[in-house]
């Protein structure tokens, strides 16, 4: 493996109090799941046995979960009230998890460039503690758009994660808007074309420090 090749792929998903809306405060993160997969396991077509898992829930404080967020995720302000906030202590734990992984390390999220990565940057800024460096990131939505060809009729295809899963795995995705289930779905889809996916990430990953908050 060369120094420029990703050694550890960290698939992640967030649940939040709502969506990013222009002119509105950024939503707060209520759940974070990260699953780290070694490069050699990513290049296989079977789901990895060796995984490093990280899941935390957060009290969003004064931020109220939208009705849609509550319906989609099953999380509420009430059930999260005993959880800790996304603070400096949380960032220390996250960085400790990432620091244990073989580098280079790359964060991966579906639509991450527009949503997940930006909200993680916002939370780290609010906590007053940045993510460790060096750290890379890549958006799986862009990866799938690049590596999947149009269907035989040349029609446009949906690249929503659940749609890709049903199209390529052949059954409905297990669960949407549950961070751990969505990460598992993302890994399974990524392994349908493992060599193409890994090569795309090697070529297109960017420093996480280049991501800006909403």
CATH number at residue 170: 3.30.420.10
List phi, psi (to 5°) of 13.
Answer: -150, 150
Profile the chain (214 residues) by mean pLDDT over runs of 10 residues: 85 94 89 97 92 96 92 93 97 98 97 97 97 97 84 68 84 78 93 94 97 95
Give the number of other CB atoms < 10 A from CB of residue 78: 9
Token readout for 148 is 């999947």
204 is catalytic: no
Q: Of 64, 177, 192, 204, which one is the catalytic site residue?
A: 177
Per-residue pLDDT at 152:
47
Instruction: Kindly state whether residue 2 falls inside one of the protein's structural domains.
Output: no
- In sign, the C-alpha dihedral spanning 77, 128, 114, 14 is negative
Instruction: Kindly state whether residue 172 falls inside one of the protein's structural domains.
Output: yes
Per-residue pLDDT at 62:
92
Instruction: Kindly state whether residue 201 falls inside one of the protein's structural domains.
Output: yes
pTM comes to 0.93
Tell me if 9 sits within 8 A of 37, measured CB to CB: yes
Q: CA distances (Å), 33 to each of 15, 30, 52, 184, 193, in order?
A: 9, 10, 11, 10, 23
Instruction: Name the residue range of residue 29's domain.
Output: 8-210
| Gap between the Cα atoms of 167 and 144, Å rounded | 13
| 55: Cα separation from own chain's centroid | 12
Alpha helices in the chain (DSSP H): 39-42, 67-73, 88-99, 116-127, 140-147, 161-169, 179-190, 194-204
Comparing CA positions, the residue from 90, 22, 30, 111 lying closest to residue 65 is: 30
Tell me if 212 sits within 8 A of 120, measured CB to CB: no
| Gap between the Cα atoms of 8 and 28, Å rounded | 27
- Residue indicated by tokens 């099953």: 74
Per-residue pLDDT at 174:
74
Q: How many domains does the chain have?
A: 1
Instruction: Kindly state whether residue 38 falls inside one of the protein's structural domains.
Output: yes
Token readout for 54 is 């990280």
Instruction: Kindly state whether residue 3 falls inside one of the protein's structural domains.
Output: no
- Residue indicated by tokens 């199209």: 167
Instruction: Kindly state whether residue 18 falls inside one of the protein's structural domains.
Output: yes
């Amino acid at each position: 493996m060369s120094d420029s090749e990703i050694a550890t792929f960290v698939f992640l998903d967030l649940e939040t109090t709502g969506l990013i809306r222009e002119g509105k405060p950024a939503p707060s993160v209520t759940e974070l799941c990260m699953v780290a997969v070694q490069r050699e396991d990513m290049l296989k077509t079977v789901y990895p046995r060796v995984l490093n898992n990280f899941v935390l829930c957060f009290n969003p404080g004064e931020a109220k979960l939208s009705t849609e967020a509550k319906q989609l995720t099953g999380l509420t302000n009430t059930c999260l009230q005993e959880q800790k906030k996304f603070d400096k202590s949380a960032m220390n734990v996250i960085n400790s998890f990432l620091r244990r992984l073989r580098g280079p390390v790359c964060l991966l999220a579906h639509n991450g460039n527009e949503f997940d990565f930006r909200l993680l940057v916002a939370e780290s800024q609010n906590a007053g503690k940045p993510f460790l460096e060096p750290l890379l990131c890549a958006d799986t939505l862009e990866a799938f758009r690049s590596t999947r060809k149009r269907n035989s009729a040349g029609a446009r295809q949906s690249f929503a994660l659940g749609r890709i899963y049903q199209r390529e795995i052949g059954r409905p995705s297990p669960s949407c808007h549950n961070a751990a289930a969505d990460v598992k779905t993302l890994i399974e889809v990524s392994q349908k074309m493992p060599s193409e996916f890994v090569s795309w990430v090697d070529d297109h990953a960017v420093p996480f420090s280049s991501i800006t908050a909403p």
